[in-house]
Structure 1
Amino acid sequence: MLNDTIQVDIDLRGYAGWNSRHAVQVLDKVFPKDAPVQPSLVIVYFGGNDSSTPHSSGLGPHVPLQEYIENLRKIVDHLKSLSENTRILLLSTPPINEATITPNSDGKPTKTNEACQIYSEACLDVCRKMNIEAMDLWSAIQKRDNWQDVCFIDGIHLSSEGSKIVLKEILNVLKGAEWEPSLYWKSMPSEFDEDSPYDPIASDGKSTVNLSNWVFPDNDKWD
């Protein structure tokens, strides 16, 4: 919600430690095809856990690259089938601060930037081939000065500064995407935006002021 009136309802589906294998298993539960209302936009992020270093036990979040690619394709195909108006945005794998990464029980680092970049490029390639919007987190994070130190809380998970970069990039995609209807916040209608006698009284003392589509000064940060 970007001003004082409701423009969107946002449902968050973030599951700690999950990879694309998890997602494929629950697609029909999270996004049932027979739901009475389908989402206008789905933002998908998998890759950070998939790109983890494989463990000799076969356990853990690592997903081989080709399976990861196929899982992304399955996710996109399912989301496309929900509605012709459901838009999709995939976020690619971001970098990590390797200096903070500890080894696993095999004595290997749990994550590497080499793997993160490979999975990021694979995600972007899927988006190009399937004609959907993508956000290159690998590159976006590294544009920030001292990104290794300021963009993470632990070398992997994003800090508030890192999250601001993600938000800015998402808004840039929404602003530039040629979607009809537009999902950029300034182009979206407000809910229940009709004039009302219960609105604030205008300076003439005889009418009211409809605030539904006002853009307040602090909203500039969303532009």
Structure 2
Amino acid sequence: MSKLTPVVWPKVILFGDSITQYSFQPHGWGAEIANKLARKCDVVNRGLSGYNSRWGRMVLPRLLSQSSAERVAAVTLFFGANDSSLEDKNPQQHVPLQEYCENLKDMGRFLSSAGVPSDRLIFITPPPVDEPAWEKECLLKGCPLNRRHAAAGQYAEACVRAAGQVGADVLDLWTLMQQDGRDFRPFLSDGLHLSQDGNQFLAQQLWRLLEGRVADLPFILPYWGDVDHASPESSLLCDL
């Protein structure tokens, strides 16, 4: 058999903390995006539960090299829910506000240097925090409330600034979930992570930003009805 040209799917890479890692669970926002992009893109989950932007910046070069950045259609950077935890209550995950902003910019610059242009980057801000619900979770774990709604908002503002400074797009989840006086609490499962409604909301908002970036990507390999049944090789083994 003659050497065949490999079929290479473009990639959408989701990089972030637990809200990204959990996004492939049933009804998750990552799974929803992957479903929309079936036969067009591989949606790659690189969520790391508990990570902050400091650790994300350190490991990103291990996850994406210049060679693996080929055919990347988009990258989401979704950190802040851990960075914004209170320093006196959760020093292990807390990252100071200015460092958080610089970490995001450093990751954006690294991706650009690796071959992912800034117009393919989407920063996502941390969501709001339902303090009473999250305090219940903290007490179950034997610790005091370690996140505040207002602090998450400050980190969301810093994320928006960082995106603007590197030329990336941004999905301001903290603001959108509260827009026009909306009650954001149903979007959260435990006060911090996303509920099914929250996952659906994020998927809808993200798709608005992604759709234009992937609209021109072709359907990979022919639709079954277009395969020449008398000579399938002519349809399936040709260069794409």
TM class by shorter chain equals 0.7 to 0.9
Instruction: Please give the alpha-carbon distance, in whole angstroms, between the structure 2 residues aligned to 1:136 and 1:9.
Output: 25
* Structure 1 partner of 2:58: 25
- Call closer, same or farther: CA 1:59–1:96 in 2, change over 3 Å: closer
Q: Pick from 228, 237, 240: which aligns with 1:197?
A: 228
* Structure 2 partner of 1:155: 191
Task: Report if aligned partners of 2:39, 2:219 keep a CA contact under 8 Å in 1.
Answer: yes
Shift of residue 183, structure 1, vs aligned partner: 1.6
- Call closer, same or farther: CA 1:119–1:84 in 2, change over 3 Å: closer
Instruction: Please give the alpha-carbon distance, in whole angstroms, between the structure 2 residues aligned to 1:165 and 1:159.
Output: 10
**2:183 partner letter:** N
> Taking every aligned residue pair, what percent have the same amino acid on both sides?
26
Q: Pick from 217, 225, 229: which aligns with 1:188?
A: 217
Structure 2 residues without counterparts, runs of 5 or longer:
1-33, 231-240
State the secondary structure of the residue aligned to 1:129.
helix
State the secondary structure of the residue aligned to 1:89.
strand
TM-score calculated relative to the size of structure 1: 0.75
Shift of residue 166, structure 1, vs aligned partner: 0.6
Tell whether 2:151 aligns with 1:119. no
Bigger fraction of residues in helix: 2
Aligned length, in residue pairs:
190
Q: Report the aligned-residue RMSD.
A: 2.8
Task: Report if aligned partners of 2:69, 2:114 keep a CA contact under 8 Å in 1.
Answer: no
Task: Report if aligned partners of 1:5, 1:191 keep a CA contact under 8 Å in 2.
Answer: no
Higher gyration radius (CA): 1
* Structure 1 partner of 2:201: 165
Structure 1 stretches of 4+ with a deviation exceeding 4 A read: 1-5
Bigger fraction of residues in strand: 2
Shift of residue 11, structure 1, vs aligned partner: 0.9
* Structure 1 partner of 2:68: 35
In the TM superposition, 1:73-112 aligns within 5 A as 73-83=105-115, 85=117, 87-102=120-135, 109-112=145-148
- Call closer, same or farther: CA 1:40–1:99 in 2, change over 3 Å: same
Instruction: Please give the alpha-carbon distance, in whole angstroms, between the structure 2 residues aligned to 1:115 and 1:189.
Output: 42
Structure 1 residues without counterparts, runs of 5 or longer:
200-223
Task: Report if aligned partners of 1:53, 1:110 keep a CA contact under 8 Å in 2.
Answer: yes
Instruction: Please give the alpha-carbon distance, in whole angstroms, between the structure 2 residues aligned to 1:90 and 1:4.
Output: 20
